[in-house]
Structure 1
Amino acid sequence: MRTSHVWPAPLPAVPATAVDRAGLVQRLRLTVLSAGHAAAGIAALVLALLMTGAFPALLSLTGFLMLWLLVPLAAGLAQAHRTVAARVLDEPVTAAYADTTGADPITAMAVWVRDPARWRDFAFCWFSGTGGLAMSLVPVLLLVGPAAHVVIGAAQGSLLWSTTAFLLLGPALLGWWFVTVPLVGARLRADQAILGHSRNERLRRRLDQVVESRTATVDHNAAELRRIERDLHDGAQARIAAAGMNVGLAEKLVYTDPDSAVELLREARETTVSALEDLRTLVRGIHPPVLADRGLGWGVEALAIPIPIPVTVALRLPRLPPPVESAVYFAVAECLANVAKHARASRAWVVGDHDGDTLRLTVGDDGEGGADPRGGGLAGVARRLAAFDGTLTVTSPAGHGTEVRMEVRCQAR
């Protein structure tokens, strides 16, 4: 089976004119986004005013019905801004709403009142309709305002109006060029801060994840110890005991029946060799010698050799802490085994590198896809990586292959 190392070539230089065009296109796109934020800010201001007016009348049927309609609308508007902020910033912006599935309106309203995410939506509506609206209008007005004034002045025949607007056009465009990117970025960061999880909530969720991963690790280690004990008891221990019995019988027969004693000693030798092979297999299952001798890159290449389809290995990895190398090695082994058994692929690949702080590795194939990340094998891989603060991301559209991406924060040795 052919394996190869592929080293990325240096990126070519980008002409300055291309950078300028990219900057212009970027600013135009951000201005359009800012105009959308401004339009949404007007709707958010209306929602904020209506919800504020409904609070005093909450005990009446009118206030109750108003909030019953307005709170989901505010959540939908907030979710739209979360989606936009996450896509532009390339960072997750998430919020966990309290579950009200199947609850009656009164119970749902009581849950909403105690839900911090709903109050963040309310605060966001006020921000989006006031300060956020002002921030979003600035790039739009700087780009469109002077030109619109020139057109209006020309239509009215006012030379002074047109001349003044034309003189302001240059400074306005210069301000638009320098202000748009940081201002829209600040607006998106503000949306992320208001609509995302609070610091305390993030810490609580992180603590829950750590406790869950550590519990799974303890359970996994306990299961591994039971497996090792069972393999020793049923394999090497039984063979060594049989060899000892044969040697004892041979000792008794060595003077009275030498031929039988020799046969028993031969069987004892063969049994001892088999027991030694069992022990070697068990040791390789605990920590493969190739990891200790050569590192993760060579270990992955050794895994790729027996796979019955071509596997390309392109890794640039330093020596990593042994527990991390072992965990990632067995994770890759599980993924390649899944490719061989289920993917029906014609080729596969393993690529990855280490940037000094994080190990990133991808196992992919061109098979039929449809892999379930909650399945036993991949779920076990995720639990194994979670013990090292690692993550597993599975992309497997039906008919378009599978990619399993692993990330583990670790330092090189």
Structure 2
Amino acid sequence: MNGEAQDHAGVAGLAVGRSLLQALLAQIANLPLAILLGVSLALVPLGVGLALLPPVLLAVRGLANQQRRWAKEWSGVEIPVPYRPRPADASGFGRVKWLLTDPATWRDMLWTLVNSVLGVVLAGLPSALVVYGLEGVLVAPWLYSLHSFGWGPFWPLGDYGPPGAIGCLLLGSVLVLTGWLGGPPIMRAYALVNRSMLGPTRARLEERVRELTATRSETVDASAAELRRIERDLHDGAQARLVALSMHIGLAEQMVKDDPDEAVRLLIEARQASGTALTELRDLVRGIHPPVLAERGLPGGVQALALTLPLPVNVTVDLPGRAAPPVESAAYFAVAEMLANTVKHAGAERAWVDVRHNGTALVMIVGDDGRGGADPSRGTGMRGITRRLAAFDGTMAVTSPEGGPTVVTMELPCALSSPKI
């Protein structure tokens, strides 16, 4: 029973501390961002707002995403992220268009304005009750007592004397208890209000269902094509080698007595055929799931890819843990395809790969100093990678002006496992 009481006290104490944090954040972050949004929107007709809006809106998204995480971690209220995927042309005016045409952006704006008040009034209520109650318990009774004896120049408190001190003590205790016990339900109510503003609308949910239906169809088609490729490679490659190997061994068995030299020659050919078949099987397995991923993870896989290219590749990988094997495989093949395009089409002298996790997604940036002009709509390789990433709700953005450089940014939403010690 004591353990349960301690757990409840700990939860209540955390809720009060989080209440104070939310109240401070509403004034330190929400209010300035609301003012910046108003100024940026007012300056849009002058053109200045087009430059100011993207960083302000992205800052609002970051703050809203933090609230979504806190709502789930602190109160068990899950708020799905409703933003539309970043399109391939999301640079310059395209980025402004992407942000402003997303209904979730306008809901974020409304939340920013409302939360600058709501975060103080509702989220800050438990901490305000506790702080004000502590003042009534620890400070006001002494002031009343001293005032009743005429000690010191205090502000007018009335001639209540000790009864006034007792009243402050009782009232302060009630306020502290109310704020302490009411902290968790009040914070949950605050999270539910946030969900009503930051969660996806019904229209967005319907749109998301359509997107997932299309993605599933593309994934099924891609899986079927991959299966046909594996079957074809097995039939035309390794299977044919193994059939030839069996024939050579059978002929050698028949000739081992009559013509030993010919039998030895056939066995040598059989050994060579077995080596070729083994190599083809290894290549086929590597195309399904590279062994280097299982052995060394995505960092080692990307490093190994870079070492096979005929140009210098600067690789930077910063991952505090490992993603799920299917996600690692998709990321590996996406980077491999982009590097292959660099070698085949870019005419580049150097390339670079940057892989990191931003807290919600695996971000892979592949760039080169080549001739540029890469267009995802013209290449089957890039379209294939787009479909592979879409199966995991991932996105790809390509920036490749004529003359270069080419920068491909790919994101795969995922969580990382804890690093092994």
Find out whether 1:206 has 2:174 as its counterpart.
no
Change (3 A) 1:408 1:247: same
| 8 Å contact kept, 2:249–2:270 | yes
Alignment of 1:79-228 (within 5 A): 88-90=56-58, 199-228=201-230
Question: Which of 315, 320, 323 is equivalent to 1:320?
Answer: 323
| 8 Å contact kept, 2:43–2:49 | no
Question: Which of 380, 384, 392 is equivalent to 2:384?
Answer: 380
Q: Deviations for 1:90-148, whole angstroms, at most 9, x for unmatched residues? A: 36998xxxxxxxxxxxxxxxxxxxxxxxxx9xxx9xxxxxxxxxxxxxxxxxxxxxxxx
| 8 Å contact kept, 1:347–1:365 | yes
Find out whether 1:252 has 2:254 as its counterpart.
yes
Question: Which of 306, 309, 312 is equivalent to 1:307?
Answer: 309
- 2:273 matched residue in structure 1: 271
Q: What SS is found at the alignment partner of 1:312? A: strand
- 2:332 matched residue in structure 1: 329
Q: What SS is found at the alignment partner of 2:335? A: helix
Q: Deviations for 1:307-343, whole angstroms, at most 9, x for unmatched residues? A: 2222100011222111011111010011001111111
Matches of 2:36 and 2:304 in 1, distance apart?
48
- 2:410 matched residue in structure 1: 406
Change (3 A) 1:288 1:93: closer
Aligned partner of 2:285: which letter? V
Q: Deviations for 1:193-232, whole angstroms, at most 9, x for unmatched residues? A: 8xx9981221122111111111111111111111111111
Change (3 A) 1:293 1:368: same
Could you tell me which runs of 5 or more consecutive residues in structure 1 were left unpaired when the two chains were aligned: 1-24, 41-79, 95-119, 125-192
Q: What SS is found at the alignment partner of 1:255? A: coil
- Alignment length, in residue pairs? 256
Matches of 2:389 and 2:292 in 1, distance apart?
20
| 8 Å contact kept, 1:82–1:93 | no
| 8 Å contact kept, 2:33–2:56 | no
- 2:287 matched residue in structure 1: 285
Q: Deviations for 1:161-190, whole angstroms, at most 9, x for unmatched residues? A: xxxxxxxxxxxxxxxxxxxxxxxxxxxxxx
Aligned partner of 1:209: which letter? E
Change (3 A) 1:26 1:256: closer
| 8 Å contact kept, 1:364–1:403 | yes
Find out whether 1:391 has 2:395 as its counterpart.
yes
Quote the offset at 1:352 in angstroms.
Answer: 2.0
Aligned partner of 1:353: which letter? R
Q: Deviations for 1:38-78, whole angstroms, at most 9, x for unmatched residues? A: x99xxxxxxxxxxxxxxxxxxxxxxxxxxxxxxxxxxxxxx
Quote the offset at 1:85 in angstroms.
Answer: 6.1
Change (3 A) 1:394 1:257: same
Give the stretch that moved more between structures: 233-242 or 347-356. 347-356
- 1:353 matched residue in structure 2: 356
- 1:233 matched residue in structure 2: 235
Question: Which of 366, 371, 374 is equivalent to 1:371?
Answer: 374
Aligned partner of 2:56: which letter? V
Could you tell me which runs of 5 or more consecutive residues in structure 2 were left unpaired when the two chains were aligned: 1-31, 62-81, 85-102, 107-196
Q: What SS is found at the alignment partner of 1:314? A: strand
| Alignment TM-score, normalising by the size of structure 1 | 0.55
Q: What SS is found at the alignment partner of 1:388? A: coil
| Alignment TM-score, normalising by the size of structure 2 | 0.54
Matches of 1:274 and 1:34 in 2, distance apart?
66
| 8 Å contact kept, 1:358–1:407 | yes
Q: What SS is found at the alignment partner of 2:258? A: coil
Matches of 1:228 and 1:353 in 2, distance apart?
31
Quote the offset at 1:28 in angstroms.
Answer: 8.5
| 8 Å contact kept, 1:83–1:93 | no
Matches of 2:228 and 2:275 in 1, distance apart?
24
Q: Deviations for 1:348-369, whole angstroms, at most 9, x for unmatched residues? A: 1111211443111100112222
Aligned partner of 2:353: which letter? V
| 8 Å contact kept, 2:41–2:53 | no
Matches of 2:52 and 2:204 in 1, distance apart?
21
Quote the offset at 1:27 in angstroms.
Answer: 9.3
Alignment of 1:20-31 (within 5 A): none
Q: What SS is found at the alignment partner of 1:295? A: helix
Q: Deviations for 1:274-329, whole angstroms, at most 9, x for unmatched residues? A: 11111111111111111010000110111111222221000112221110111110
| 8 Å contact kept, 2:42–2:49 | no
Aligned partner of 1:265: which letter? L
What is the RMSD of the two structures over their aligned residues, measured on CA atoms?
3.7
Quote the offset at 1:241 in angstroms.
Answer: 0.7
